Structure 1
């Protein structure tokens, strides 16, 4: 037997025993073995009398709020008597010890922050913060256009049917009560800026920022604006397939997975925290910092499995996004992200608890393989470095292969496919290929593009 989430050893009865019992009561319950050392070995000289247990119970009850009444029994371990003090998980949490609150984490007691105390209380009452009244705001502070768009979106999703009478509909969803509005209604439909920001940035290194933007608005707007910003700062290639030469956009990251990351940050953040949601875009990774730790006792280890139970910090906000069709069933976001990145062999989904919050992200594990480059660069088959004749340099060979696989491609598309190389470099390489009578331009200046010159396609084989 070892110390763990539910067991603690103490050599004697003291305030540290009561602290641990309060932590057990705020978690899943547990037992303190009094009269044992840290290794679980009984102490030879430990003794207790007939009235000892009742004295302990009284002291525990008096020093905890609400008062804990534990079960105390005698047990013989390795021929020695020890006392076992047991408590169950308390129904209404949190329980305090001398005005402080603790929770059992692993084999130690963790003192709760003010936000964690509030979360634990709401969980025990099966309530969520976003269902409480927004002080100083009424329905007059909501944007009617945003509400009507939401109602239309819900009805289009087919998951629920709303009447179109916005007051009745919002009351049915418990977002308002007469003229009183909830925190959720304010965040979803505010007619002005809220107190919460989403901060995005494009970084070259952790200390070198290239561009940044602060978003503030209704949550539905923030999600769309954040996606537009991200898309504008990641690479996109074009793959041409079929006889119709239809172009397919291939993004550096799967957009559905990126959207899940943004939705997770907005829906599940701790709105009692003053810290902003932060999304950082690097050359080979994207990360999202979400204020507030994991909710409802969920652990990082559980999230690594697809069968974890969902816990929702902001129930009304999550329900609104669900009814609007933006999320699937609660708790399935991580499953969908793993599914979306399967087509990106060296990409991995990362997440971890951090001080003050939780971080999720997508990143490339190592230098991109040819398989990744083929996908990101528009499916350039046959290899970019070999089999090209005519004495061309590496850069010209690569550009020539791009033109061959994408007939009619324009200069801006060539630049994107080649990793956003400088415009002057692309123009210079195109010029050299045209001088050597390998590539030609067809069509108008506005709509035309580059082609392998008739009779020259063999140069790339």
Structure 2
């Protein structure tokens, strides 16, 4: 790397894959570990807090000694690439590491991952999830030490097999238990955690779902408590919600009237299936659904999985990762899931087509929350106000787009979150403007979400 290239890197500033340190120390090693547990990155030693080159003092053995120290303090042993770069009479050392194939990596028993431009100390759950992802599996594939095949319902297994036969229009000739073994729901003659949740014969303590109809935040007028298999829970949750919905009958001229509920049933079904499939069943909390006069509030234990954010979900700019691979696979085999990773976008589209206000999606209390609103989208407006608003909106939008292009030109690696912060906008507005710029062929994205960059096609 030349001195000029180093200056270009310094101009980018710290981020998800780049950090500056004034000297070699344990914090530098922590950052390398965080990069190894995320998507890789570089740490440059010899840069002060003002992002200016201060340099480090090195001798012929310094760099190798530092690499050995990193190797000895990390597990699995991390051996970064190093590069010595001189700028005048000052020397900087660039330590680079790729995403480590066997995760997570620790420094003296502590595990870090990279979040935005800082290091995050990983929780026990995050450490376990990283390990499971490394070996390309999930917890629900593991044998359940407390339950065996005698704890699952043969009738429920039969219905599952019949649903697959109906979907595929093919007869499954093998015995049902052998078929479960083929799907790895039973492994080495042992029932998996996922298998128990899918076909539990009786009371299932870890599938707790509470559903209530609330007149006020503290007044419950009807409720159910479910602790059964996951397929049954989906049906019973939807039936309870439907019982408490208002319905109007539309005369279409056909022999039968058309029913229209105050919420789209397809969106409710999509939310409920996503709750059941993606819940963190290792969390002792229950899934909770509250039906109010003006909204339905769905809460599920377990935050978004695999580093995905709410903004990623809304933009569609993410690769789907599944916490419960076996459960998701079973729901897909039975035809309840069409495609992995498209649920949120489908919910939004259903509500839009139904004339509903867009749902709320957020991470709260180490869980994920969705709120469906009864409120209809505001489509009737005063014509004069509408025209004035549209003109103002267009002018404001053009100013936003100009600023976005300026920021992208000065820093091609800038994130949408950083753009939103700099322009004091919501990230949703920035995502919408960038989507428009892409459609107009004015900018394009090269590379992934974390390590990619923007290219301006037309200013």
Indicate whether the TM-score tops 0.5: yes
Out of 221, 224, 228, the position equivalent to 2:239 is 228
**Is contact 2:21-2:44 (8 Å) kept?**
yes
- Counterpart of 1:136 in 2: which secondary structure? coil
Matched, 1:336 2:336: no
- Counterpart of 1:253 in 2: which secondary structure? coil
Q: Which is worse superposed, 272-281 or 358-367?
A: 358-367
Out of 19, 27, 35, the position equivalent to 2:30 is 19
Matched, 1:149 2:159: yes
Trace 1:75-94 onto structure 2 (pairs within 5 A): 75-76=85-86, 80-94=90-104
Tell me which residue corresponds to 2:412.
none
Matched, 1:133 2:125: no
Q: TM-score, normalised by structure 2?
A: 0.76
Aligned residues: 369
Q: 1:63 to 1:205 in 2, by over 3 A?
A: farther
Larger radius of gyration: 1
**Separation in 2 of the partners of 1:208 and 1:368?**
30
Matched, 1:171 2:181: yes
**Is contact 1:42-1:78 (8 Å) kept?**
no
Note the alpha carbon deviations across 1:100-119, whole angstroms, 9 max, x for none.
11110100111111111111
**Is contact 1:261-1:361 (8 Å) kept?**
no
Q: Which is worse superposed, 8-17 or 359-368?
A: 359-368
Tell me which residue corresponds to 2:293.
283
Trace 1:47-58 onto structure 2 (pairs within 5 A): 47-58=57-68
Matched, 1:119 2:138: no
Trace 1:5-404 onto structure 2 (pairs within 5 A): 5-43=16-54, 46-76=56-86, 80-158=90-168, 162-163=172-173, 165-177=175-187, 179-194=189-204, 195-242=206-253, 244=255, 246-306=256-316, 308-364=318-374
Note the alpha carbon deviations across 1:152-171, whole angstroms, 9 max, x for none.
11111127753262112111
Deviation at 1:178, TM superposition (A): 5.3
**Is contact 2:262-2:374 (8 Å) kept?**
no
**Is contact 2:290-2:298 (8 Å) kept?**
yes
- Counterpart of 1:36 in 2: which secondary structure? coil
**Separation in 2 of the partners of 1:156 and 1:88?**
46
**Separation in 2 of the partners of 1:301 and 1:181?**
37
Q: TM-score, normalised by structure 1?
A: 0.75
Hey, which of these two has a bigger chunk of helix by percent?
2
**Is contact 2:313-2:345 (8 Å) kept?**
no
**Separation in 1 of the partners of 2:110 and 2:24?**
19
**Separation in 1 of the partners of 2:376 and 2:47?**
50
Q: Which runs of 5+ in 2 are unaligned?
A: 1-11, 382-459
Q: 1:252 to 1:79 in 2, by over 3 A?
A: farther
Deviation at 1:149, TM superposition (A): 0.7
**Is contact 1:21-1:30 (8 Å) kept?**
yes
Deviation at 1:365, TM superposition (A): 6.0
Note the alpha carbon deviations across 1:223-246, whole angstroms, 9 max, x for none.
1111111112222211122163x3
